[in-house]
Amino acid sequence: MQYSQYISGEFRQGSSEINYEVINPATAEILGTLQFTSAQDIADAIQSAHQAFKVWRKTTAYDRSVKIRQIAKLMYERTDDLAQQISLELGKPLVEAKKEVQTAAEMFEWASEEARRIYGKTIAPRTANIKQTVVYEPVGVVAAFSGWNAPAITPARKISAALAAGCSIVIKPSEETAGIALKIAQIIDELDFPQGLVNMVFGNPEEISNILCESPEISMITFTGATSIGQSLAAKASKHLKKLTLELGGHAPVIICEDVDVEKVAKAAVAAKFRNAGQVCTSPTRFLIQQSIFNKFSEKFTNYARQIKVGSPFDGSTQMGPLKNLRRLHAIDSLVQNARALGAEITAGGSKFENLSECYYAPTVIVQPPFEAQVNHIEPFGPIAILKSFNDLDDALEEANRLPFGLASYAFTNNFSYIERISNEIESGVISINDWQASLPETPFGGVKDSGLGTEGGAEGIHEFLKIKTLRIAS
- The catalytic site residues sit at 247, 281
Dump the DSSP string for 271-339: HHHTGGGG--TT-EEEEEEEHHHHHHHHHHHHHHHHT--B--TTSTT-SB---SSHHHHHHHHHHHHHH
Helix, strand, coil tally for the chain in percent (to 5) = 40, 25, 35
Q: Are 107 and 164 in contact (CB under 8 A)?
A: no
What is the sign of the dihedral through the CA atoms of 431, 436, 439 and 443?
Answer: negative
Question: If phi over 0 gives left and psi between -120 and 50 gives alpha, with beta otherwise, what is residue 273?
Answer: alpha
Under 8 Å CB-to-CB from 387, ≥6 apart: which residues? 287, 289, 294, 297, 298, 301, 365, 366, 367, 368
Rounded to whole angstroms, how far apart are CA atoms 108 and 411?
30
Each residue of 90-114: b (16+ CB within 10 Å) or e?
Answer: bbbbbebbbbbbbbbbbbbbbbbbb
Number of alpha carbons in the 13 Å side-chain half-sphere of residue 193: 37
